[in-house]
Structure 1
Amino acid sequence: MNVDDKTIIPKKIVEGLKLLHLKSLYNFTESAFDDIMKVFTTNNVSLYKVKKYLKEETGLVPIFYDMCENSCICYTGQYESYQNCPVCESTRLDARGKAKKVMPFLSIIDRLKVQYKDETRAKELLYRYEYNINKNDNDLDDIFDGKIYKELINDNLFSDQRDVAFTASCDG
């Protein structure tokens, strides 16, 4: 989200957004979030209020999917009706009948729409195109200098300046 001269974000929301970032990095609970906010700020802000603010500003609403507690699978698609993980055999639900672990999902298409609505971010998304038209040597300076990307260009992909290139990285 771009903050320009016309956008004024209340201090309490900024603090909440910073803490929400830490929550996502370190996966602490909603009650831990609220307790930290109570200790370190006098502003009346909660995780609920921060999420509500983000929803109002972006229009993005996550869909939550149950996951294996060891992150082996997500209980969707072919695994949707499973009650135990087929990889590690852990149970899906705890003693209260709630999922042991959940994963929030935000549509990539919806996320790109939000980014392209912001003029500054839309210009930043032209980086790939700008990089390629301004490149005048054979040095390896960016992912767009790589062999696979160049093969995709030769296959006539990324012909529009607004095309977006995604990469995937898998651990393990």
Structure 2
Amino acid sequence: MYCEIMEAFSEQNVLLYRAIKKLSSLVKIAPTWIDCCVKSCCAFTGNLKDLEECPVCGEERYKRSSKKKVSLKKMAFFPLKDRFIIQYQNPNRSLELQYRANYIMNQEYLQYGDIFDGRRYQELVEKGHFTDYHDIALTASLDGY
């Protein structure tokens, strides 16, 4: 499915309507559309949901000429839960997602073969997290925030 999605969006100037139609035929989850800054500084969610302009760059959120509030830019959000449900429906991907449950910890002193050898993960395991083989550990890496 990944290859099909990449092929569908390989053109440089894909029309949004065409992109939505193609993506919805490949992926059986509907996106939540979120207003965002035209310069991608922020998403207008949480404590920013009622703002009319970007708190970072000052760009307006809505088109001026429209009587109705029409955002200048939106992004599609696909909830993680829905994405994991789809992935677990594929037998091969389901096995890949069980990597954490099947991982054998490296016992050598100060040798880290994977994130699952790390102290933070081990602390979470000791607290009773990750008891089911379907449990998934996520990590985040941010650039510039």
What TM-score do you get using the length of structure 2 for normalisation? 0.79
**Structure with higher helix content:** 1
Please provide the CA RMSD for this pair. 2.5
The AA in structure 1 aligned to 2:123 is E
Offset of 1:140 from its aligned partner?
A: 0.8
Q: Helix, strand or coil for the counterpart of 1:120?
A: helix
Query: Could you say which residue in structure 1 is the equivalent of 2:7?
Result: 18
**Counterpart residue number, 2:107:** 137
1:60–1:96 Cα change, 3 Å: farther
Identity %: 34
How many residues of Structure 1 are paired with residues of Structure 2 in the alignment?
A: 137
Equivalences for residues 6-155 of structure 1 within 5 A: 14=4, 17-20=6-9, 22=10, 32-33=13-14, 46-47=18-19, 49-54=21-26, 58-97=27-66, 98-131=70-103, 134-138=104-108, 139-155=111-127
Deviation, 1:108, is: 0.8
Partners of 1:17 and 1:50 within 8 A in 2: no
Map Cα deviations across residues 74-98 of structure 1 (whole Å, 9 max, x no partner). Answer: 1123222211112322111234444
In the superposition, relative to structure 1, how do residues 151 and 105 fare at CA in structure 2: closer, same or farther (>3 Å)? same
- Structure 1 stretches of 5 or more lacking a match? 3-12, 35-45
Equivalent-residue separation in structure 2 for 1:72 and 1:33 (angstroms): 23
Give secondary structure in 1 for the equivalent of 2:60: coil
Determine if contact 2:32/2:78 at 8 Å carries over to the other structure: yes
1:136 Cα offset (Å): 4.8
Residue 127 of structure 1 aligns to which amino acid in structure 2? Y
Q: Cα gap change, 1:89/1:136 in structure 2, threshold over 3 Å: closer, same or farther?
A: closer
1:64 match: secondary structure: strand
Find the residue that maps to 2:92 and give its secondary structure.
helix
Which segments of structure 1 move beyond 4 Å, counting only runs of 4 or more? Answer: none
Q: Would the alpha carbon gap of residues 156 and 75 (structure 1) be closer, same or farther in structure 2, given more than 3 Å must change?
A: same
Give the deviation of 1:100 after TM superposition.
2.6
C-alpha distance in structure 2 between counterparts of 1:96 and 1:117, whole Å: 46
Task: Report the residue type matching 2:14 in the other structure.
Answer: F
Q: Normalising to structure 1: TM-score of the pair?
A: 0.68
